[in-house]
């Protein structure tokens, strides 16, 4: 067999000595590395802990000796993930055992003598592993959307930008967004992690049945099927993960939190955020499901959203051409610089720009911040007054919609599907 392009990490969960010795010998010849070894009778949570710790690519498991039925055992050990792959092993060529193992989720079935069948199996498994490894290296991009101050329209920008990204990356993107088919390849998630003044639920005209707090609590069992409990579909290609403070029952408390506006309140919000490992785990999972994750971070920097910045790749600061907004923007840029957040990861979006003569032209703003303005969105209040109240609709043919479409095209690079994904 050809040697793998990287050293596979192998976990052995085997009870029969002859099986173990043959597998170990064959793996040594193939250049694979054993990262842990446990008896097949070990509790499934013990094996799951070893999998979490060592991240093996492949498990050789004697499923006839596991502490639970094969299907339950594999679910427990994988904890909702697609990896590691499982190779079922058995001392004899037992057809019922083979059928049960493959139905339970095993990729291959081996019996004594394991050679040469193990090499043929590893050839097939190698193709699967390489495909999944490449997919893992092409995860979706995670961007934060931060408002310089209240009233800059960052939530509206985030919600409508999600629709513009889907439209910009579809074949025949000149067709109406409402007519997009369900086989779209581009998927965007808007994650509302604004714990002070969230507004995505209202902007999208939806009533979520679950929120981000629920998803963080359930991250250990997260899977594609489980995720459907937490994502609220908005339109083809766009989902919402609502803020815990933006659920219908929490609307009043959200308004009260928004008016407090002091550091003690921000500290309390930060203390209420999930542990960092939960944030990292959920975003890692979501990066495999979506091309873009736009995180609504709320307004100005505070301890709550600062804790999230280390998990994002880019930060979109939405500002407006007024004195206070520009002052707050400069303050945010200075804070980010002082804390080591690279300027190259920051994009300025100027919203509510006026076409008439004004004190703050785009060129003067760029001079003020010593960086270019990535996108300019005109002041277009009339468009929002005409939007439906009972559903979300992206106004693609308005000046507001065209500006966001232009921003989406720039973010997507060539505009082709998948071109926005980060480099491996």
Question: What's the pLDDT score for residue 247?
Answer: 62
SS3 66: coil
Distance (Å, rounded) from C-alpha 255 to C-alpha 264?
17
Question: What's the pLDDT score for residue 30?
Answer: 80
Residue 223 contacts by C-beta under 8 Å, 6 or more apart in sequence? 80, 81
Residue 349 contacts by C-beta under 8 Å, 6 or more apart in sequence? 157, 316, 317, 318, 319, 373, 374, 375, 376, 377, 407
Question: What's the pLDDT score for residue 124?
Answer: 85
| Residue ranges covered by each domain of the chain | 9-136, 140-411
Q: Which residues pair with 317 in a beta bridge?
A: 146, 348
CATH 3.40.50.2300 fits 9-136, yes or no: yes
- 185 pLDDT band, cuts 50/70/90, is low
Question: What's the pLDDT score for residue 79?
Answer: 77
Res 99 pLDDT > 60: yes
Distance (Å, rounded) from C-alpha 362 to C-alpha 368?
10
Mean pLDDT of 153-178: 78
Mean pLDDT of 289-310: 89
User: Whole-prediction pTM value?
Assistant: 0.64
State yes or no: cis peptide before 227, omega within 30 of 0: no
Question: What's the pLDDT score for residue 269?
Answer: 47
User: Which CATH code is given to the segment(s) 140-411?
Assistant: 3.40.50.300
């Amino acid at each position: 067999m050809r040697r793998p392009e990287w050293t596979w990490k192998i976990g052995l969960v085997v009870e029969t000595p002859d099986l173990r010795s043959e597998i170990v010998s064959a793996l040594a010849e193939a250049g694979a590395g054993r990262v842990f070894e446990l008896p097949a009778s070990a509790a499934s949570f013990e094996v799951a802990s070893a999998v979490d710790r060592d991240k093996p690519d492949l498990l050789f498991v004697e499923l006839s000796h596991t502490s639970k039925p094969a299907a339950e055992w594999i679910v427990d050990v994988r904890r909702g993930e697609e990896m590691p792959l499982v190779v079922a092993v058995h001392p004899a060529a037992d057809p019922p055992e083979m059928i049960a193992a493959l139905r339970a989720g095993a990729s291959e079935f081996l019996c004594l003598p394991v050679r040469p069948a193990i090499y043929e199996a590893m050839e097939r498994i190698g193709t699967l592993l390489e495909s999944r490894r490449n997919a893992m290296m092409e995860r979706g991009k995670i961007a934060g959307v931060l408002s310089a101050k209240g009233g800059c329209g960052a939530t509206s920008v985030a919600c409508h930008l999600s629709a513009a990204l889907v439209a910009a990356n579809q074949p025949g993107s000149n067709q109406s967004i409402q007519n997009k088919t369900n086989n779209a390849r581009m998927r965007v998630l808007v994650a509302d992690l604004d714990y002070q003044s969230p507004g995505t639920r209202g902007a999208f005209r939806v009533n979520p049945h679950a929120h981000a707090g629920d998803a963080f609590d359930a991250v250990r069992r997260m899977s594609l099927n489980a995720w459907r409990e937490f994502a609220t579909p908005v339109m083809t290609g766009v989902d919402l993960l609502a803020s815990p403070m933006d659920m219908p029952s929490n609307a009043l408390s959200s308004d009260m939190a928004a008016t407090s506006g002091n550091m003690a309140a921000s500290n309390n919000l930060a203390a209420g955020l999930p542990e960092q490992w939960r944030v990292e785990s959920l975003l890692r999972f979501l990066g495999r499901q979506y091309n873009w994750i736009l995180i609504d971070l709320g307004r100005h920097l505070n301890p709550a959203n600062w804790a999230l910045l280390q998990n994002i790749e880019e930060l979109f600061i939405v500002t407006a051409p007024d004195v206070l907004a520009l002052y707050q923007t400069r303050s945010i840029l200075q804070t980010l610089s002082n804390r080591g957040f690279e300027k190259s990861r920051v994009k300025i979006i100027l919203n509510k720009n006026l076409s008439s003569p004004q004190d703050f032209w785009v060129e003067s703003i760029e001079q003020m911040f010593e960086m270019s303005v990535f996108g300019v969105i005109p002041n277009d209040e009339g468009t929002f007054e005409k939007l439906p109240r009972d559903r979300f609709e992206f106004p693609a043919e308005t000046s507001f919609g065209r500006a966001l479409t232009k921003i989406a095209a720039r973010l997507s690079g060539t505009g082709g599907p998948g071109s926005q994904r980060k480099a491996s």
